[in-house]
Amino acid sequence: MRSFESMGAHAGAHLTGRTANWDAVRIFLEVARIGSFRAAACELNASANYLKKCISLLEDAYKVTLMTRHVDGIRLTPEGLKVLEAAKRMEEASFGLDRTLSQSTNALTGEVRFAVTEGLGTFWIAPRLVEFQRAHPGLLVDLKCEMRSVDVLRLEADIAVQLVEPEQPDLKRIKIGRLHVMPFVSTSYVKLYGLPRDLEDLRNDHRIVIQDSEQSKAREIYDKYAGRDQLGFVAMRTNVSTANLWSIAKGAGIGWLPTYVPALGDPLIPLDIGAKFELDIWLAYHPDAKKIARVRHLIDWTVQSFDGQKFPWFRDKFVHPRDLHKAYKETEPLVNLFAGFKKVSRPKQGRMLPGRNNGVQR
């Protein structure tokens, strides 16, 4: 694999003008995402000093400081945060160009193994993978949706999307978004019990449902906000996101959901009672994974699928659920979570049901 450093004669060639060189912008984007020159150097197969030099040239060309160095990594300046958003748009355009050019090359074939948390896999990744597979019909995507963290270094999966930062130092990892979680309630629940005014009212006069599983932080959040025993307060406790969502939607109790869920499905009422929290979304893969074309395409597609510029519910900054549709300005239609589930009407009394013998012995 050709390194960035081996292209040094060209990487900074245009930085003295007012047109940023894409290689330098890619370096800035990688360092900003990873948060460390050293880790980004390993990712890009270059030296940390080379990356620092490229970013310094970029800063000199525009007379601006983009990032500052600290003991635990780098921090983006306000100007750097603006450049980061522009760099993401450049990256997306680059991916689009790559996809266009790839149409004239041999189709990708083989199997790719994708591990993701159960909620994100079911509600976000799976519906979007349909278009990815249609673009690459020679690929077989093995999608594993579960709340445990897989061991990517031991090749349990080619890539993994998880809600806890991977700890293995040899693993490639990128923070690709943030999940904002807050309490929601259905209209059917409100008709019976009303809306809680605050956390104290919630504890005393309402019922909740919780998802208690690896990566969900349910027990930690419960201890922080509940302040009472679960018996008589928790109506249902489940280990999967699908059951958690359906129990909330059907009125079993008040429950915590990612803010993107009501934007994609049946209306739920968000509760502003000071009980929201965030979970960073991490992409992890084996150091050699990007050498495999089919895995590299899946990695690039996954990064785009959590782009906060395009999908506001994945931004670091909280966007209230009632403002998500206004903030979402893309032409791509959102997939309804409940599409395909039709309400079955009961037959009127006295009418014969198709497929039944209606009293006739056989």
Bridge partner list, 279 = 179
> Taking 90 as the threshold, does the pLDDT of residue 26 lie above it?
no
* Count of helices and strands (H, E) across the chain: 14, 11
Specify the range with the lowest mean pLDDT, choosing from 114-123, 288-297, 343-352. Answer: 343-352
> Taking 80 as the threshold, does the pLDDT of residue 207 lie above it?
yes
Query: CA 232, CA 241: separation in Å to the nearest integer?
Result: 22
pLDDT for position 356: 38
Query: CA 216, CA 103: separation in Å to the nearest integer?
Result: 40
Tokens, residue 32: 């900003």
Look-up of token digits 């080619």: 158
Q: Which helix (H) or strand (E) holds 272?
A: none
Q: Give the model's confidence band at 192: pLDDT under 50 very low, under 70 low, under 90 confident, else very high.
A: very high
- pTM of the model as a whole: 0.63
Residues in the chain, total: 362
Query: CA 43, CA 274: separation in Å to the nearest integer?
Result: 39
Q: Which helix (H) or strand (E) holds 180?
A: strand 172-185
Q: Which of 53, 45, 50, 39 is nearest to 2 (CA)?
A: 45
- Between the two ends of the chain, the Cα-to-Cα distance in Å is 72
pLDDT for position 11: 43
Amino acid at 241: S
| Alpha-carbon distances of 71 from 37, 74, 348, rounded to whole Å | 11, 8, 72
Q: Give the model's confidence band at 362: pLDDT under 50 very low, under 70 low, under 90 confident, else very high.
A: very low
Mean pLDDT of 278-289: 89
pLDDT for position 183: 93
pLDDT for position 352: 36
Domains detected in the chain: 1-105 (1.10.10.10), 179-278 (3.40.190.290)
Query: CA 34, CA 240: separation in Å to the nearest integer?
Result: 30
Q: Which of 164, 255, 138, 274 is nearest to 217 (CA)?
A: 164
The per-residue pLDDT for range 253-265, each reduced to its tens digit, is 999 999 988 766 6
**Percentage of residues in the chain with pLDDT exceeding 90?**
30
